[in-house]
Structure 1
Amino acid sequence: MLLRTFGWSFGITAAGLALAGVLWGGKGLAIVAILSVLEISLSFDNAVINAGILRKLNAFWQKMFLTVGVLIAVFGMRLVFPIIIVAITAKLSPWEAVRVAIDDHDRYESLVTGAHPAIAAFGGMFLLMIFLDFIFEEREVTWLGWLERPLSKLGKLDTLSVVIAMVVLVIAATTVATGVPLHGGHGTIDKGETVLLAGVGGLITYLVVGGVSSFFEERLEDEEEDDEDTGTAQVPAPGGSGATRSQVAGLAGKAAFFMFLYLEVIDASFSFDGVVGAFAISNDIFEIALGLGIGAMYIRSLTVFLVRKGTLDDYVYLEHGAHYAIGALAVILLITIKYDVSEVITGLVGVVLIAASYWSSVVRNRRLGEGSDTSDDKAEVTSGV
């Protein structure tokens, strides 16, 4: 299963590193390898979040995630998106932006870095909303119960997460967005208006895409309940899964499409910090795209691996740790509007939270296992009597 899931990633890694060696020599190969590791370390929590959504989709949409989704992630976000940003912010034609990216690496880096406040505000607000909606949702399993249970009660106020996100955005626009250092350290500029507009854009994008996908998911659940009431939802889906035929059909329709779209927007939000942070290592657009693209492939494969292995069901706190990592990343993105934050710190925060939630899940499973063994022993003693 490991080779079947990660086979494409291994193959693309070998081909990508070989290509880097041919085009740019040993130095280019090393840069591409470092960028790949950077992307994986920054986006491990992304794989956990993606897996939580992807497991709701059927096999067809999972394949779409690994094919069309990879094209969007690698070529769209790592190659095309920075060029679009350069074209918009510098008011250049698309062809001129491509020329700058290829021929004038220093100017290209400066333009992308100059657009970072808007990128960080958009991505930060989108990720912050994911985190807030998670911690304000009432759930049976809690990781940090002393914190999550009171917050879930507050979450009964429907607009609370939006209000908090808007307050955070206003604070960011009036603090870290003022006196933003210019690229190269020559003076400062006020980016308050830009941050405010971009942040509102991120918030609106989350509400629209997330709201539409939730609408179709809830409608699907209502249809399944109606089928259960009429006795037509008891036919299991092919392949022995727990889903019914009606679930599979629903997940291949509009609900699946908007979940897929929501998944892609989340993935794009996670890629923002990697794309901008990559300029600390290289300002060559093709080295960046190749290195981050290889890393993105592993994140995709890891997402599918987590789904097929049922890891999120076995280690129930992983999603909690990943969402806390998202919250931390959202705050870090907003801070980086003005201040430099090392990619090492960003990556370590996510890794530590994921590792802590994984270990808590292991401890929980052991405790439940021991309790189960004890119950079985008691049952055997009782039946023996």
Structure 2
Amino acid sequence: MPEAKETVLEIDLGALAHNYRYLRSKIDSDVKFLSVVKAHAYGSDSVVIAKKLEELGTDYLAVAYVEEGIRLRENGITKPILVLHPQFTHFESIIEHCLEPNLYSEKILREFISTAERLKQKNYPVHIKLNTGLNRLGFDQPEIPLVADLITNTSTLKVASIFSHLAASEDWKERDFTVGQIDLFRKMSWQLVEKLGYEPLLHICNTSGLINYPKAAFSMVRSGIGLYGYGNDKNVDSELRPIGTLKTIISQIRKLDKGATVGYNRAFKVEKPSRIATLPVGHADGINRIYGKQKAGVMVHGKFAPIVGNVCMDIIMIDVTGIDCEEGDEVIIFGGPQHPVKFAEAGGTISYELITGIQRRVTRKIIPEGSEK
């Protein structure tokens, strides 16, 4: 495959397929699989990823906001789409585009019932979020009778799933808390099921949950970060493949003498004769200032080159002293020989923030499954 000629994020659908199949293998065949494609599919391309996941056999998709779901529908996605954090101002659009809202508070539940009744809906699929300890969204246990009464007293809604979210499923030191969440979810969901008179899908496991607590899979699991190649655990990371590789090129190489300084605020001082390369990528692309001042680096022909000085809006500078390279050569920021987790940790952050922060002006290049990279 030709080297990059600009800053580009390569999206490997073969890696996505591998991750989906690996995660699917960890649960029983009768357990449904929900794939999370919010935030542009964790910084990649939500439409491309959703289409591939449909092909792979995912049962459900999930997004954070309504506009994300609308984009998928407008691009031909037909699988059920759960909207995790809807606002009542978008309820008509939800129904118009056959999206399925998470109803997480009394106000949201009442407002959706009102909208559904006004639009003459019947058995419209909704999802009920229970709070079991994460303390973000969701109904608390004392609210379950109210939730049940509101739902059973209208013919407009049909609960498609009841779910909750684990707070620390990747951390074995928090095992007691996680087991407590699972037990509370079991009690709360069955309390609601008994009042509804039917059993919707039940799900609490995220990526780390389905790996570490497979007996808590209930009837569906959700995976976001795992699909994109990250398991929140070194052993699991070794089984997964990051789908994204961020590449760029060397724009210019400058020879500097000892004592010269580089970039804004003269943040890097050259201590010996050096070669400094300029790259066309910066914090406006998602490579933030936290990676500058030699905290992180990139790979040039398989060799590590530290980022020097402050990261600029559209430019970073790297030290290529001793590396055989020239202007126009390819540079790998993360992916391939440099795992994105390692790059993120060098800047004091996590892979989630790194990969979801790659801006839309960076060209996406799709690598189909089965292609040679």
Asked if TM exceeds 0.5, the reply is no
Q: Which has the higher helix share?
A: 1
TM-score (norm 1): 0.21
Q: Which has the higher strand share?
A: 2
TM-score (norm 2): 0.22
Higher relative contact order (CA 8 A, sep 6+): 1
